[in-house]
Amino acid sequence: MIVTRRKLIGGLAAGGLLGGCDRLGESPPFRKILFSAEQAHRFLQRALTDRMALAREYRSDQMSPVFRTNGTNNPGTPDYQAHVDTGFTNWRLQVDGLVARPLALPLAELRSMPTRVQITRHDCVEGWSAIGKWHGVPLKLLLDLAGLRPSARYIVFHCADRIGGAPYYESLDLVDAFHPQTILAWGMNDRLLSVGHGAPVRLRVERQLGYKHAKYVMRLEAVDDLRRAGRGKGGFWEDVADYEWYAGI
């Protein structure tokens, strides 16, 4: 009798507990609880700390000797390759959506705008970090140039790379879009941005994880709702794998 009970308890502890967690992780009501933690963390961070706090900036002797690439290393499409071959001279950054003045800015114009240089730490959701130097135009300047309409609540970043056929994209709310360290970087470590790191421009949003730092940015779109972009969760990894949209955690 005792042995049977022990076996039962042992079985529950080993198979039941583990299998139970896997089943819980798939049950819609429980997932709702698990997924609400993202809002709780975002609310707590935004409520308890300075929304405009700057990410740590490092000295040049603190930079990673090798800054690894991640995600797509080359979009590889004919259109993108044509831009690479012509040094992005025919490329234009589109700024549209809920803006007063849609823009199409050549790379040379972006480079001639006021530049912010920042040595910051890139934190991948996987756990690694690399410190690099980024040169770019503050996103705020572009948004002010285009003139956001009052209904705009998010900025969507449309990219040239596709993963498994789906276009990469990301999005930010206006708190992070207007943050002074949020830049569209055209340079890295005192050189023009390489294809591996997202040429011609990539997003730097220094208080969030790496997958928010969209590479190969082609178009900025101001929207009032994220549900119409991609599959509706505000970003490629959010859509395909349920990563957090707020990646400041």
Partner 1 sequence: MAKPTERIYRHRLGTRIWHWVNAVAIVVLLMSGAMIFNAHPRLYWGQYGANFDRAWLEIGADARGGYLHLGDRRFDTDGVLGRWRASDGSVRTNAFPGWATIPSGYNLALARRWHFTFALVLAFGLLLFQVASLFNRHIQKDFALRRGEIAPASLWRDAVAHLRLRFHDPDNPGAFNTLQKLSYITVVFILIPLMIFTGLTLSPGMDAAWPWMLDLFGGRQSARSIHFIAAALILLFILVHLVLVLLDRPLDGLRGMITGWSRR
Residue ranges with strand state E in 18-153: 92-97, 103-106, 116-123, 129-138
* The token pair that represents 182 in the structure block: 């949020």
Write each residue from 150 to 189 as x if it is in contact with partner 1 (CB under 8 A), else as -, in one continuous string. Answer: ----------------------------------------
CB of residue 82 vs partner 1: minimum separation in angstroms?
Answer: 32
- Residue 138 or residue 200: which is nearer to partner 1 going by CB? 138
Pick the binder of partner 1 from 8, 54, 104, 108 (CB under 8 A). 54
**56 lies in the site for partner 1, by CB under 8 A:** yes
- Identify which range of 31-39, 74-82, 94-102, 146-154 contacts partner 1 by CB under 8 A: 31-39
- Identify which range of 39-47, 148-156, 182-190, 228-236 contacts partner 1 by CB under 8 A: 39-47
Pick the binder of partner 1 from 8, 33, 82, 104 (CB under 8 A). 33
* The token pair that represents 121 in the structure block: 């730490």
Q: Are 183 and 139 in contact (CB under 8 A)?
A: yes
- Identify which range of 17-25, 95-103, 104-112, 194-202 contacts partner 1 by CB under 8 A: 17-25
Name 152's Cβ contacts closer than 8 Å, sequence gap at least 6. Answer: 97, 98, 99, 174, 222, 223, 224
CB of residue 156 vs partner 1: minimum separation in angstroms?
Answer: 21
Pick the binder of partner 1 from 2, 28, 47, 50 (CB under 8 A). 50
Pick the binder of partner 1 from 8, 9, 12, 40 (CB under 8 A). 40
Burial (Cβ within 10 Å: 0-12, 13-18, ≥19) of residue 227 = exposed
**58 lies in the site for partner 1, by CB under 8 A:** yes
Name 179's Cβ contacts closer than 8 Å, sequence gap at least 6. Answer: 52, 205, 206, 207
One-character DSSP codes across 151-163:
T--EEEEEEEEEE
Q: Are 161 and 79 in contact (CB under 8 A)?
A: no
CB of residue 188 vs partner 1: minimum separation in angstroms?
Answer: 15
For the segment 226-245, give every residue that binds partner 1 (CB under 8 A).
237, 241-244
Cα–Cα distance, 197 to 150 (Å, whole number): 33
Burial (Cβ within 10 Å: 0-12, 13-18, ≥19) of residue 99 = buried
- From the list 175, 168, 177, the residue with the least C-alpha distance to 231 is 168
Q: Given the rule CB under 8 A, which residues bind partner 1?
A: 14, 18-19, 21-22, 25, 31, 33-38, 40-41, 45, 48-50, 53-56, 58, 62-68, 121, 123-131, 206-209, 237, 241-244, 247-249
